[in-house]
Amino acid sequence: MNILGIESSCDETAAAVYSDGEILSNVIASQTVHERFGGVVPELASRAHHKTIWSTVEQALSEAGTELRHIDYIAVTRGPGLLGSLLVGLSFAKGLSIAHNIPLIGVNHIDAHLYANFIEHEESYPFVGLIVSGGHTRLVHVKEPLKHDVLGETRDDAAGEAFDKIGKLLGLPYPAGPEMDKLAQDGNPGFHDFPRSMMGKGLDFSFSGLKTSVLYYLQEKDEAFIAENRHHICASVSAAITDVLTAKLKRAAEKTGTKQLMLAGGVSANSMLRKKTGILAERSGYKLMIPSLQYCTDNAAMIAITGSIMARKGMVGDLTMKPFARLETQSAKV
Whether residues 194 and 103 share a domain: the answer is no
Whether residues 143 and 249 share a domain: the answer is yes
- Residue 42, pLDDT > 80, answer no
Whether residues 89 and 11 share a domain: the answer is yes
Strands 137-144 and 147-153: antiparallel
Whether residues 21 and 104 share a domain: the answer is yes
- Across the range 104-118, mean pLDDT stands at 96
Whether residues 266 and 172 share a domain: the answer is yes
Whether residues 248 and 308 share a domain: the answer is no
pLDDT-above-90 percentage for the chain = 85
pLDDT for the residue 330: 43
Count of domains forming the chain: 2
Whether residues 74 and 158 share a domain: the answer is no
Whether residues 285 and 299 share a domain: the answer is no
Question: How far is 211 from 218, CA to CA, in rounded Å?
Answer: 11
pLDDT for the residue 129: 98
Question: How far is 175 from 177, CA to CA, in rounded Å?
Answer: 6
- Across the range 1-19, mean pLDDT stands at 94
Residue 218 lies in a domain: yes
pLDDT for the residue 82: 93
- Residue 334, pLDDT > 70, answer no
pLDDT for the residue 279: 97
The CATH number of residue 263's host domain is 3.30.420.40
Per the annotation, binding residues are: 109, 113, 131-135, 164, 177, 181, 270, 298
Terminal CA-CA length for the chain: 36
Residue 68 lies in a domain: yes
pLDDT for the residue 332: 40
pLDDT for the residue 328: 57
DSSP 328: P
Question: How far is 264 from 222, CA to CA, in rounded Å?
Answer: 37
Question: pLDDT tier at 34 (50, 70, 90 boundaries)?
Answer: low
Question: How far is 157 from 82, CA to CA, in rounded Å?
Answer: 17
Asked whether the beta carbons of 175 and 164 are under 8 A apart, the reply is: yes
Residue 317 lies in a domain: no
Whether residues 275 and 164 share a domain: the answer is yes
Q: Is the sign of the CA dihedral 115, 101, 2, 124 positive or negative?
A: positive
pLDDT for the residue 44: 86
Question: How far is 211 from 137, CA to CA, in rounded Å?
Answer: 15
- Across the range 106-123, mean pLDDT stands at 96
Whether residues 130 and 82 share a domain: the answer is no
Residue 329 lies in a domain: no
Residue 154 lies in a domain: yes
Residue 261 lies in a domain: yes
Domain that holds residue 273: 123-290
Residues 6+ apart with CB under 8 A from 234: 167, 170, 180, 181, 183, 184, 187
Question: How far is 108 from 95, CA to CA, in rounded Å?
Answer: 20
Residue 30 lies in a domain: yes
Per the annotation, binding residues for substrate are: 131-135, 164, 177, 181, 270
Mean pLDDT of the chain: 93
Per the annotation, binding residues for Fe cation are: 109, 113, 298
Whether residues 147 and 266 share a domain: the answer is yes
- What CA–CA distances, in Å, run from 303 to 28, 115, 241, 270? 13, 9, 28, 22
- Across the range 307-311, mean pLDDT stands at 97
Question: How far is 191 from 167, CA to CA, in rounded Å?
Answer: 17
Question: How far is 77 from 90, CA to CA, in rounded Å?
Answer: 7
Question: pLDDT tier at 48 (50, 70, 90 boundaries)?
Answer: confident
pLDDT for the residue 41: 80
Question: DSSP letters of 80-104?
Answer: SS-HHHHHHHHHHHHHHHHHHT--E
Residues 6+ apart with CB under 8 A from 58: none
DSSP 121: S
pLDDT per position as a tens digit, 156-191 = 999 999 999 999 999 998 889 999 999 999 999 999
pLDDT per position as a tens digit, 177-233 = 999 999 999 999 999 999 998 877 899 999 999 999 999 999 999 999 999 999 999
Whether residues 43 and 90 share a domain: the answer is yes
Strands 260-264 and 127-132: parallel
Residues 6+ apart with CB under 8 A from 216: none
Question: pLDDT tier at 43 (50, 70, 90 boundaries)?
Answer: confident
Residue 212 lies in a domain: yes
Asked whether the whole model's pTM tops 0.85, one would answer: yes
pLDDT per position as a tens digit, 233-255 = 999 999 999 999 999 999 999 99
